[in-house]
Structure 1
Amino acid sequence: MSDSTKMLTALVRLRGALQGAVLPLDLPDAEAERANRLAMIDQLEDYVIPRLTAIDGPLLTVVGGSTGAGKSTLVNSLVGDRVTEPGLLRPTTRSPVLVHNPADAEWFGQDRILPDLVRSDRSTGDTSTLQLVATDKVPAGLAILDAPDVDSVEEANRILAAQLLAAGDLWLFVTSAARYADQVPWDYLKKAAERSTSVAVVLDRTADDAVETVATHLARMLAARGLKDSPLFIVREGTPDDDGLLPASYVADIRGWLDALADDADARGAVVKQTLEGAIRVLSAKTFQIASVVEEQGKAVRQLRDDSDRAYDRALAAIHTATADGTLLRGEVLARWQEFVGTGELLKSLETKVGALRDRLVNAVKGKPAQVERVTHAVESGLEKLLLEHAENAAEQAAGYWASTAAGRKLLEGQDRDLDRASREFRRAAETLVRDWQHGVLEMVRGEGADKRTTARYLAYGVNGLAVALMVVTFSATAGLSGAEVGIAGGSAVLGQKLLEAVFGDQAVRRLAERAREDLERRVEELFAAERARFTHVLDDLGVDPRSPELLRAAARRVDDLRFAAQSSLSSGSE
């Protein structure tokens, strides 16, 4: 594999890494880095990769600069024909115009430089279209691209101007005696100096009495900004003819310089090499910066995920405690359960003489089917309320954590539903969960009692009554009760356990209670996983890949390794 092929492969991988490195969160400087990332991708696609595959193509000279500097008139005058329409009104919005020799037409097809711009042979007024003009008045080996104003009041024009300049081998940067000190053009020239782009500056529309003063000052400004070797051309103020052209003598120096480049393959190659290598160097360096920014995005996403997980983990822990420490064996559930078991003297006896009760329980329990149903409904209602309360609390807490950061607030604002409340489907899902769990408990009891269905105790309690007792036992699994609770909720739970032991035996009851509890916890976790997913889906949809920072750095290191190897090879060859 040749060195150029290796570099091309490395640059394609770099482009892929940049495309995968999204910056969706509104962190500090994120907006500027998004623009940088897109500009880097554009330059790779518009210039670096196409130019590397067509290194011997014509020298693309992009004519850019300030509003009203006379770029289009200059282009027409350099070509010697009206190939682009000067704008009389500002802002001028039209297709960018690329003028080339007919012999070079193949170099500017859709798959070459600026591939995302549609090709056309006429002006469309569409900034996404590139007008191609073939003329023998431009020498083979040279192409001239008329770009919009870099400081246009139209954002689309400014964006296109930046894109076109980034796709050029050579900038012919045009300013005027009235605008040469403006900040925006100098921002572009600074970028050109940073990436070693080949630049020539044209001081256009300059009055005779201002030439020396302005040109001297401009030359000093160029030198101070790292562009002292850039040619500076002066175009004196003049009136275009009926075709919109300046006298040929006004632009003779520029035209002569461009013709010399077109005639000298080595000189063209040097310009292309300088600009291309500078672009690659800067792209690689900026990639490490993008990698750091993407890394911060990943950390922010992880923090937001941890915050929402923390809220829902707390909710699950609270539900686990409340369904195991007797909390549910109060209020309506306790009242209905006592009706079913006929507490009275039985509970009093239970406090002092639990062990002797087993044989008395068949006669003591007076529950009827209707009473069993009321206990079931009470359990159902209590458990549903518990689940809904903690779902609401978890959503509110998770949203509160997110709202404490600018990035999180932006995400919340962008949702079409309220994340700070339980989902609209939650109540119905909770109701279904409780009914399905109760049905599961009933089936456990039915399965465990398959060989006991004719016994007196089994018949006395019935499968529904035993299922209710198992629910009550399940809700006091931790035995973490104290004080008066032992005599009420705790006593009720112990009574339920004795009822079950009278039918199934101690070991079977423990196994049934454990299965019922595990089943409830599993169902609750699944229910809350769907609630938690409302937050995690928002983060997943951002597309932040935790591998992106390392992919970016690896791609940039590969490009740098090939650059350094090429430089070392050149140094060795020159010795």
Structure 2
Amino acid sequence: MTVAPDHDSRMLTALVQLHDALRAAPLTLDVPGAVELRAARQQLISQLEDYVLPRQMTVEAPLLAVVGGSTGSGKSTLVNSIVGRRVTAPGLLRPTTRSAVLVHHPDDAKWFGQDRLLPDLVRVTEATDDRHSLQLVPSDTIPPGLALLDAPDVDSVEEGNRLLAAQLLAAADLWLFVTSAARYSDQVPWQHLKVAAERSTSVAIVLDRTPADAVRTVAAHLARMLASRGLKDSPLFTVAEAPVSEEGLLDARVVADVRAWLVSLAEDPGARSAVVRQTLDGTVRSLARQAHGLADALAQQLEAADALRQAAVTAYADAGERAVVAATDGSLLRGEVAVRWREFAGNGELLRSLEGRVGLIRDRLVNAVKGSGQQAERVSVAIESAVELMVVDHAEDAATATAAAWAELGTAGPLLGDADDLGRASGSLRRSVEGEVRAWQQQLTDLVKADDAERRTSRYLAYGARGLAVTLAVCVLADAAPDDTESGAEVGRTLLDAVFGAEHTATLVARGRADLRRRIGTLLGGERARALGILDGLGLDAEVGRQVRAAARRVDDRRYEQSRVDDAPLP
């Protein structure tokens, strides 16, 4: 085999791209298996940050052996005994180890700075119970090229310890997995060993605290278990049960085999590199495989988001259509609006003023409208209030329908909890409706003022544009009303026909109705945008999944290229 360079920039680039793609690929929606997928995604990101990327940049760094295992298996005592002095605290109380302790040769200190392995753990030099710290202990009894990291129990009663243990094992070049005669068949440690086998992680097993007369029997059974689980090539060491000194150390002869094997790895660059590369390559292979699965999961997320989006669009579209119907079917010309309109129309007084000659019509209209500005304003205010309430009611209905549809789909759980009153109309809607209705009525006034081409009604318009605009508003609100409605809008329609002519009145009403419909659509569209904005904020699109898959393929391609180089015959 040829020896690959210590630093593969192409593989490093591919891994960085995979890391960035995973970071940009949220799994927020509650699709089936989402909880497990989120955990898997975070594990991939963490392993890239904690181990793969730092190790890929520094393949020549010391071999990191993480000492992990079951509660009470004697990990800390074993570490102290291998080092030859007390560097980590053993004890009878459980859990004992709460923070990570890394022992290294003084000459290797440069390899374990904050920017190296496990960068999120703060480097300290004193013992601490802070799980977010990594205590660095230099010791010249550890050979250069090797570092021992004492991890918490993988089956600790404290979840924080279990999570830290898993994080540390995922950052190991070599697992020195410690168990005992009483604990070697426990399920939790074997779950971790299964992961190691799947990743081709280098593993050595230490059967600790085993009575001398049971060592052979237990070791044989443990070896069979290892073989059946894909770990038949893992070295198996036994440490017989022995007294512990006041310093917390076993006799050096008890741990001599384990220490000699570790020292031999540290002193043999080829063997050390083989262990590192086996674990690194297996981890990279596993990362790429799992990334493809996450790309599939992202497609499910996208489908779920599309379903939620369609539910919101449908709810607001239905509400918008109902609001437009309610705005033009005469239903708003009731209550306060009806009262104010009757006051303004004078129970037919406007119509009676139209009788007689055209000149008299003009004069009477002028006289009638001159004193009706206040009444016209009252009608306008009543219309504004009625339209506002109607639009807000339909927005509330749409918000409620959207929230109910999302809940029924069952994928929006996190969004329903985080959304700001998704099931209610926004707090600013009333003010927005108020502004739009006023703008609509002003538009009606502008339409009336603009329609004076023949100047036949110029004197009237100079005094009565506001009154005619209010009358036009009433006609719009009753445009789709049944013929037998009691809205009183027929009075206004007759008035507009007399002033503008029936054909042009129809045009004015149509333009007023179209403008009102547009404004209602704008208002409800703004409300719909709140729900769609929540979905947009997830950052989900088809490109995200493609980027994850493409990044995983680049990693696979580079692994394949590396394997061809490694398998090429020597010249």
Letter matched to residue 396 of structure 1: T
1:215 match: 219
For residues 74-473 of structure 1, the aligned pairs below 5 Å read 74-329=78-333, 333=337, 336-337=340-341, 340-341=344-345, 362=362, 368-415=372-419, 417-449=420-452, 452=455, 455=458, 457-458=460-461, 462-473=464-475
The letter of the residue matching 1:571 is: D
CA drift at 1:167: 0.7
> What corresponds to 1:495 in structure 2?
494
Displacement after TM superposition at 1:520 (Å)? 2.3
* In 1: Cα distance, 2:242 partner to 2:453 partner: 108
Judged with a 3 Å threshold, the aligned counterparts in structure 2 of structure 1 residues 457 and 212 are, in CA distance, closer, same or farther, namely same
Number of the residue aligned with 1:66: 70
Deviations 1:69-98 (A, max 9, x none): 000110111111212111331112443111
Query: What is the alpha-carbon distance in structure 2 between the residues aligned to residue 474 and residue 481 of structure 1?
Result: 10
**Aligned residues of 1:110 and 1:118 also touching (Cα < 8 A):** yes
Taking structure 1 as reference, are residues 18 and 202 closer, same or farther at Cα in structure 2, changes over 3 Å only?
Answer: same
Deviates more, 1:32-41 or 1:435-444: 435-444
Once residues 384 and 530 of structure 2 are traced to their aligned partners in structure 1, the CA distance between those partners, rounded to angstroms, is: 26
Match of 2:535 among 524, 536, 539: 539
For residue 494 of structure 2, what is the amino acid of its counterpart?
A: L
User: Is 1:169–1:198's contact at 8 Å kept on the other side of the alignment?
Assistant: yes
Return the match for 1:569 from 532, 541, 565: 565
Report the alpha carbon displacement of residue 334 of structure 1 after superposing the two structures with TM.
5.2
CA RMSD of aligned residues (A): 3.0
Separation (CA, whole Å) in 2 of partners of 1:531 and 1:448: 35
Structure 2 residue 557 is the aligned partner of structure 1 residue 553: no
C-alpha distance in 1 between matches for 2:197 and 2:387: 70
Deviations 1:223-258 (A, max 9, x none): 110000101111000011122111111111111111
Q: Distance in 2 between matches of 1:234 and 1:446?
A: 101
Whichever residue aligns with residue 21 of structure 2, its letter is: A
Q: 2:39 is matched by which residue type in structure 1?
A: A
What SS does structure 2 have at the residue aligned with 1:168?
Answer: coil
Q: Tell me the CA shift for residue 177 of structure 1.
A: 0.3
Cα deviation, residue 5, structure 1: 0.6
The 1-side partners of 2:383 and 2:357 are apart by 26
Alpha-carbon shift at residue 514 of structure 1 (Å): 4.5
Choose 288-297 or 56-65, whichever is displaced more: 288-297
1:13-28 superposed matches below 5 A: 13-28=17-32
Secondary structure of the corresponding residue to residue 148 of structure 2: strand
Q: How far apart, CA to CA, are the structure 2 residues paired with 1:455 and 1:95?
A: 89
Query: 3-state DSSP class of the match of 1:148?
Result: coil
Q: Offset of 1:370 from its aligned partner?
A: 4.2
Question: Is this contact kept in 2: 1:69–1:176, CA < 8 A?
Answer: yes
Q: Indicate the structure whose relative CO is greater, using CA pairs within 8 Å and at least 6 residues apart.
A: 2
Between 203-212 and 299-308, the greater mean CA deviation after superposition: 299-308
1:474 maps to 2:470:
no
Match of 2:484 in 1: 484
Instruction: Give yes or no for contact 2:174–2:275 (8 Å, CA) kept in 1.
Output: yes
Tell me which moved more, 440-449 or 276-285: 440-449
Q: Cα offset for 1:527?
A: 2.2
* Percentage identity across paired residues of the two chains: 51
Q: Cα offset for 1:440?
A: 2.9
Q: d(CA) in 2 for partners of 1:223 and 1:259?
A: 25
Q: Note the alpha carbon deviations across 1:194-238, whole angstroms, 9 max, x for none.
A: 000000000000101211211111111101100001011110000
Alpha-carbon distance in structure 1 between the residues aligned to 2:361 and 2:301: 64
Tell me whether 365-374 or 157-166 shows the greater mean CA deviation.
365-374
Structure 1 runs not aligned, ≥5 long: none
Tell me the CA shift for residue 511 of structure 1. 5.2
CA apart distance, 1:311: 1.2
Q: Residue 484 of structure 1 aligns to a residue in which SS?
A: coil
Contact 1:198 1:275 in 2 (8 A): yes
Q: Quick one: which amino acid aligns to residue 189 of structure 2?
A: P
Residue 465 of structure 1 and its aligned partner are, at CA, apart by: 1.7
Distance in 2 (alpha carbons) for counterparts of 1:254 and 1:224: 23
Pick one of 23, 39, 56 that aligns with 1:35.
39
C-alpha displacement of 1:362: 4.8
For 2:297 and 2:208, how far apart are their aligned partners in 1? 41
**Structure 1 residue 574, shift from structure 2 partner:** 6.0
**How far apart are residue 325 of structure 1 and its match?**
4.3
Distance 2:78 2:117 in 1: 23
The 3-state SS of whatever aligns with 1:295 is: helix
Partner secondary structure for residue 254 of structure 2? helix
Asked if 2 retains the 8 angstrom alpha-carbon contact of 1:17 and 1:555, the reply is: yes
Aligned 8 A contact 1:326 1:489 in 2: no
- CA displacement 1:133-190 (0-9 Å, x = unmatched): 1122111111111111111111111111111111111110000000000000000000
Q: Quick one: distance in 2 between partners of 1:29 and 1:456?
A: 75
Aligned residue identity for 1:517? R
| CA pair 456-258 structure 1, distance change in 2 beyond 3 A | closer
Q: Is the 8 A contact 1:476 1:493 kept in 2?
A: no
Q: 1:358 & 1:432 partners in 2: Cα distance?
A: 38
Are the counterparts in 2 of residues 473 and 497 from structure 1 also a CA contact under 8 Å?
Answer: no
> In structure 2, do the counterparts of structure 1 residues 261 and 304 end up closer, same or farther at CA, with 3 Å as the change threshold?
same
Find the residue that maps to 1:404 and give its secondary structure: helix
- Superposed CA deviations along residues 264-306 of structure 1, whole A, max 9, x for unmatched, are 1111111111100000000000011112222222222222222
Are residues 41 and 500 of structure 1, via their aligned partners in 2, closer, same or farther at CA, if it must alter by over 3 Å? farther
Q: How far apart are residue 498 of structure 1 and its match? A: 0.4
Letter in 2 for 1:163: Q
State the shift of 1:132 in Å: 1.2
Asked if 1 retains the 8 angstrom alpha-carbon contact of 2:330 and 2:487, the reply is no
- How many angstroms apart in 1 are the aligned matches of 2:358 and 2:401? 47
My pick for the range that moved more, 450-459 or 549-558, is: 450-459
Residues 97 and 455 of structure 1, relative CA distance in 2, 3 Å threshold = closer
